[in-house]
Structure 1
Amino acid sequence: MGAGVKRSTGGRRHRPMGEINVTPFVDVMLVLLIVFMVTAPLLTVGVEVDLPKTKAGAINADAAPLVVSIKADGSLYLQEAAVDAEVLIPRLKAISNANPDVRIFVRGDQAVTYGDVLGVMGRIQAAGFEKVALVAQLPEAK
């Protein structure tokens, strides 16, 4: 054997290192920070939906929403009464006592074009009613 070369003996072990290497931990945390910073703005983007708010207690009969229906032939109905397009907004204001917080549901037959439904919704919103929502029927489970 050469001079200055030490060989470890079979029964002798090195002492374990008492320090924790935190570099991999910091690397993982920085990667997670970047991932969360990129995905957080994407999670907040969504479709605005006017969901009704509920409170515990009895349901007030006056809080029932008004329903505007558009049949396949384009005729308009307010609740169950047929109305002309020119009379719809004045009737809504009269029924709701010009309260812009009244909920109005718009129901459109599936044969009615999307533009016609949006036209009715636009006139209702232009009249000052803020809580206008579409009504759809959920598909039946097969």
Structure 2
Amino acid sequence: MAIQIGEEDKPYNEINVTPMIDVMLVLLIIFILLTTAAVQGIKVDLPSASSAKPLAAQNSRVIAIGDDGTISIDAVPVSLSELEAQLRASIAGTPDLAVILRGDRAVQYDKVMQVLDLCSKVGVPSLGMASTRPPGGGQ
């Protein structure tokens, strides 16, 4: 009986790069996820106030209203009903909760009033509105 050398027994002349490409794609996906998770908040163009005082609260939540009217709480987009539920849960867990409202200067006033009304309805104990200080203004 003769032994035949087939195609399976020949040594490889090339490196198989498929596993390396798989690893690189997984690393790319991990990098993208970690980069987007590291972004703090959403960009809001705040109006300026000359007598703005810094608000430093340890137990606080930030509500941002973007220029397109999207509402987010702690950088997570929510609807008004979801915002109400999250605020009620936060107040139940932290009675001295401070809420900071960041409204873009281009947002419609109606949207800001809806959020303010909602905060009043759920009984937010402390509410502050974020602003920027104009150059050379304030203390």
For the pair 1:105 / 2:108, whether they are aligned, the reply is: no
Sort the Cα spacing of 1:95 and 1:114 in 2 relative to 1 into closer, same or farther, 3 A: same
* Inter-partner Cα distance in structure 1 for 2:54 and 2:130: 12
CA distance change for structure 1 residues 106 and 131 in 2, over 3 Å: closer, same or farther?
same
Query: Which residue in the other structure is 2:122 paired with?
Result: 127
Matches of 1:88 and 1:130, distance apart in 2: 16
Secondary structure of 1:136 counterpart: coil
Cα distance in 2 for residues equivalent to 1:134 and 1:140: 19
Flag structure 2 segments of 5+ consecutive residues without an equivalent: 1-52
Q: 2:132 aligns with which of 119, 128, 137?
A: 137
RCO comparison, higher one (Cα < 8 Å, 6+): 2
CA-to-aligned-CA distance 1:58-115 (integer Å, 9 cap, x gap) = xxxx824110000011101101111111110111222343544210000000001223
Q: Is the partner of 1:88 in helix, strand or coil? A: helix
Distance 1:64 1:140, change over 3 A: farther
Give 1:70's aligned amino acid: I
Map of 1:89 onto structure 2: 84
Alignment equivalent of 2:111, drawn from 110, 116, 130: 116
Task: Give TM-score scaled by structure 2 length.
Answer: 0.52
- Distance in 1, Cα, partners of 2:110 & 2:95: 24
Larger radius of gyration: 1
Number of residue equivalences? 86
Identity %: 24
Q: Which runs of 5+ in 1 are unaligned?
A: 1-49, 55-61
- TM-score, length of structure 1 as denominator length: 0.51
Q: 1:51: Cα distance to partner?
A: 8.4
Distance 1:90 1:110, change over 3 A: same
Question: Are the equivalent residues in 1 in contact too, given 2:64–2:73 (CA < 8 A)?
Answer: yes
The CA distance in 1 between the partners of 2:124 and 2:96, in whole Å, is: 7
Q: How far apart, in 1, do the equivalents of 2:109 and 2:95 lie?
A: 24
Name the amino acid aligned to 1:122.
D
Query: Is 1:73 aligned to 2:68, yes or no?
Result: yes
On the 8 A contact 2:87/2:122 being kept in 1, the answer is no
